[in-house]
Structure 1
């Protein structure tokens, strides 16, 4: 198959969130399966991407086209992409593809791709990655976008991918027919978690005693992630032998967290290692005792899957869509509440057998379901149904 992925940001911009990693992993697995895979994206990263030829970049066998944004600042601060020359290029090349995979739908590349895919009868699937409904931030702008383009982009898709049953309900609320919705979870690259590093490497780098318990958050430092709640709950633990690592890039919320840390006098107990990737990230997972994602809203937790691959127990709030299968299976689930979260942490810190049970169940789920090899096969099957229909 000739496959096109359309996504606002792509590798190597992994600090821009889970959508970048998901689109990259899917595209990479499809190339490894023998397909011709291309990606249309923008050149915005922390720093603007510059290649010898931005319209012909080989990323692990994937042909990537980085359209230039008019403003990298607007893209990064307001998440509004302005890719110049993309419309003309998409119009010229759309017929080169058998199937198109649009990641998220409220962006300029999705508008142009939808227009010319429909005009040329090219089937496309849409994966909203948790952004089906217009809420949490910029609701009015999202409503306007939906009225102008968003509803059509959603409804004209051959299939839409829901990460969970909860996201499926969101698609239904937007009027998408039940038969067009496929439950397609995210996964991780299991090969990266076959030979895990020895314990102690992360703690050694950050001067954490091997006797200290370590709580880990890994993701964007953003208000939506609930890190203020985590710090307040951490303060309730009253245990001298616990450290908290908040791993990830700052999306405008770190200053608020530093004020809380100073207020509770927790400076020597909480560290910010920044963005960790590859083996450095896995070392942090291996050394932690509990992985926590205390989100105000979360459609899926890829970093949680990575922790499961390292046999770590999870703690999530009920605002995370995967809580339905995590609860009492691979970890604990609580309300978005300071006391409940601290109680959940205490429960796991004081029950090694329960932690081991959750960790083993999580690893088994990764091996059987939540890995990119399994997910890619499911996606390929859906693509084939869409192409046959057309």
Structure 2
């Protein structure tokens, strides 16, 4: 198959969040299966991506076209994509593809793709990645977008992918026909976790003692992630031999967290390693004792799956759509409440047997359900329905 993925940001901009990693992993698996895969994206990241030629860059066998955004600042501050040459190039090349896979839908790339896919009768699937409803920030702007473009992009899709049953209900709430909705979760690449780094490497790099435990957050430093709640909860734990590692790039919330840390006198107990990828990220996962994602809203937690692959227990808030299968199976689930979160952390710190049980269950679950080999097969079977 000739497959086109359309996504606002792509590898190597993994700091932009889980959508980048998901689209990259799906595309890479499709290349491994022998498909001809292209990606239309932009050159925006926290710092603009730079290549000798932003067109037709080979990324692990994927043909990636990084269209230049007119303004990287507008993209980062207002989340508005302005890829200058994409619409014209898409118009000329869209008939080269058998199927199109759009990731998220409230962006200008999706507007252009919808227009030319419909005009040329090219089937497309849409994966909203938790952004179906106009929630949390810029609600009014999102509602305006939906009235002008968003509903048409949703309704004209041949299929829409929901990460969980919660997201399926959100599609239904937006008026999408139930027959068009497929539940397709996220996963991880199990091959990347066959050989893990030696234990202790992360602790050595950041001056953490062998007998100190590590609470790990891995994701964007953004208000939606609930890191202020995590710091307040961490402050309530009366144990001197615990460190909190907040790993990720700053998306406008770091200064607020630093003020909280100073207020609670936690400067010696909280570290910010920045963005970690590859072996450095796995070193953090191997050395941590508990993975925490305290989100105000979360549709899925890919970094949680990575922690599970390293046999680590999870703690999530009930605001996470995967909390139903995490709770008392691979980890604990709490209210968005500092006392409840603090109690969950303290419980796991004191109960190594429970941590081991959750860690074992997590690995088993990934092997059975949440890995890209199984998920790619499901996606390919859905694609094929529109190519017969």
Deviations 1:56-88 (CA, angstroms, capped at 9, x unpaired): 111111111111111011111211000112111
- The equivalent of 1:145 in structure 2 is 145
What does residue range 1-390 of structure 1 map to in structure 2 within 5 Å?
A: 1-388=1-388
- List 4+ stretches of structure 1 deviating above 4 A: none
* Equivalent-residue separation in structure 2 for 1:225 and 1:52 (angstroms): 35
* Equivalent-residue separation in structure 2 for 1:322 and 1:382 (angstroms): 23
* Equivalent-residue separation in structure 2 for 1:66 and 1:241 (angstroms): 46
SS at match of 1:386: coil
* Equivalent-residue separation in structure 1 for 2:127 and 2:156 (angstroms): 13
More deviation in 134-143 or 365-374?
A: 365-374
* Equivalent-residue separation in structure 2 for 1:285 and 1:47 (angstroms): 26
8 Å contact from structure 1 (residues 219, 249) kept in 2? yes
SS at match of 1:381: helix
SS at match of 1:130: coil
* Aligned-residue offset at 1:235: 0.5
Using structure 1 for the length normalisation, give the TM-score. 0.99
* Aligned-residue offset at 1:386: 2.4
SS at match of 1:349: helix
8 Å contact from structure 1 (residues 245, 270) kept in 2? yes
* Equivalent-residue separation in structure 2 for 1:209 and 1:48 (angstroms): 37
* Aligned-residue offset at 1:366: 1.1
Deviations 1:309-352 (CA, angstroms, capped at 9, x unpaired): 00000000000000010000000001000100000001111111
SS at match of 1:292: strand
SS at match of 1:387: coil
* Equivalent-residue separation in structure 2 for 1:213 and 1:207 (angstroms): 12
* Equivalent-residue separation in structure 1 for 2:261 and 2:382 (angstroms): 48
Using structure 2 for the length normalisation, give the TM-score. 0.99
* Aligned-residue offset at 1:258: 0.6
* Equivalent-residue separation in structure 1 for 2:157 and 2:228 (angstroms): 38
8 Å contact from structure 1 (residues 159, 386) kept in 2? no
* Equivalent-residue separation in structure 2 for 1:103 and 1:8 (angstroms): 8
* Equivalent-residue separation in structure 1 for 2:271 and 2:119 (angstroms): 52
Deviations 1:110-145 (CA, angstroms, capped at 9, x unpaired): 001000101111000000000000010000110000
SS at match of 2:75: helix
* Aligned-residue offset at 1:172: 0.5
Count of residues in Structure 1 that have an aligned counterpart in Structure 2: 388
* Equivalent-residue separation in structure 1 for 2:61 and 2:364 (angstroms): 30
SS at match of 2:126: strand
* Equivalent-residue separation in structure 2 for 1:199 and 1:89 (angstroms): 48
* Equivalent-residue separation in structure 1 for 2:38 and 2:341 (angstroms): 43
8 Å contact from structure 1 (residues 163, 186) kept in 2? yes
* Aligned-residue offset at 1:179: 1.1
SS at match of 1:271: strand
SS at match of 1:348: helix
* Equivalent-residue separation in structure 1 for 2:216 and 2:53 (angstroms): 40
8 Å contact from structure 1 (residues 159, 181) kept in 2? yes
* Equivalent-residue separation in structure 1 for 2:238 and 2:264 (angstroms): 11
* Equivalent-residue separation in structure 2 for 1:308 and 1:48 (angstroms): 32
Stretches of structure 1 lacking an aligned partner (at least 5 in a row): none
* Equivalent-residue separation in structure 1 for 2:228 and 2:263 (angstroms): 12
* Aligned-residue offset at 1:353: 0.8
